[in-house]
Amino acid sequence: MVILLITLLSVPILSLTIDYSNDVINSISTKNELSKITDSIDFCYYSGKGSKKVVLLDFNQDFSVRFTNNGQKGIAYADLELSDNNHKEISSEYDYIGLNTNIQFSKGFNKILVEWDEDTGLIRLSKLN
């Protein structure tokens, strides 16, 4: 009887702990992958017109990333869905302020090209297959 009672109490607590741990891991992973993108934007920005960089990313879920700026810095925002169906916004800053776009990423591996186009003078992001 005592073993049954302990089991009934510990399983829900263990389940909540696992969900919380997965949310933390997904948040950290998403922040790291988002930083890869923003670091690549900064790389192209500081390298000058004509620079390019291909970035391989690995995400744990589907979501979109919104690129905008606050007038002084560029900011990339990712909306992460947590295990309790709430959402957490993950952000990462970069120095180039001319990027205003959204990119949809799918779960798993994604490859993007970050390039400073010589013709337009703008940094662009595009998904590669």
What confidence tens digit (pLDDT) does each residue in 12-30 have? 777 777 777 888 999 999 9
Residue 73's pLDDT band (boundaries 50, 70, 90)? very high
Three-point CA angle 121, 123, 127, nearest 5°: 135
Q: Count Cα atoms within 13 angstroms, Cβ side, for 80.
A: 22
Residue (of 4, 60, 56, 52) closest to 27 by Cα position:
60
Per-residue pLDDT tens digits for 99-127 = 999 999 999 999 999 999 988 889 999 99
Based on the number of CB atoms within 10 Å of its own CB, is 123 exposed (0-12), middle (13-18) or buried (19 or more)?
buried
pLDDT (mean) for 33-54? 96
One-letter identity of residue 40 = S
Three-state secondary structure call for residue 127: strand
- The pLDDT score that the predictor gives to residue 13 is 76
Mean pLDDT of the chain: 91
Predicted TM-score of the model (pTM): 0.84
